[in-house]
Amino acid sequence: MTSLIRDIRLLIKSPRDYLYSFSYPGNKKVIIKPFDPGVTRVVQKITADLKILCPGLRVHFIGSSGLKIAGANDIDLYLSCSLTEFSFYLKKLQGYFGPCKKFRGNIVEWEIVISGFPVDVVLIDLHNRRLRNQLALYNLLKTDRKLKQQYVKLKLGLNGASQREYIRSRMDFFNRIKIPS
């Protein structure tokens, strides 16, 4: 019953995201691991390379690894620039990361593996609402110790859950957070 109530709440609050959650497998399990400091070295290397390759590009290291908490030990990087610089940086980033996995207007995504760590990279317009929301949530979790502890507890409790359940539970958690303006 609890999942049904949560799903109805998600359908009302975030219908598009909720429907997209069906694209995640219901039979593939999520494995939550302790934070691996090796992630930091990989991010430092990528960031240093990108500063040389794309000096004006903004690099945002977010997600569980950015917060240094338990998670999938993957790396979530948002790279932001103005729309006028977008195609310039896209070409350079394709040379560095290879062909992109998804391309939707002013959002380009790569899913790669570097030094054994899965890396999700998003090139995005610096004024995009998705970027603003991601950074606001990340900064709130980074600064609000109690909220961060609740998030860690949620993630640890989802160890072994299906990817779909994991995504929906996190969406519900984030939807309940009031982001300060």
What does the domain layout of the chain look like in residue ranges? 31-159
What is the mean pLDDT of the segment spanning 156-173? 96
What pLDDT is attached to residue 136? Answer: 95
**pLDDT tier at 139 (50, 70, 90 boundaries)?**
very high
What is the mean pLDDT of the segment spanning 34-62? 97
End-to-end CA distance of the chain: 34
- Sign of the torsion formed by the C-alpha atoms of 128, 57, 111 and 71: negative
**pLDDT tier at 66 (50, 70, 90 boundaries)?**
very high
Task: Give, in words, the CATH class of 31-159.
Answer: alpha beta
What pLDDT is attached to residue 181? Answer: 63
pTM for the model stands at: 0.90
Residue 111 has pLDDT above 60, yes or no: yes
User: Which two three-digit tokens encode residue 4?
Assistant: 């049904």
Round to whole Å and give the CA distance between 8 and 1: 11
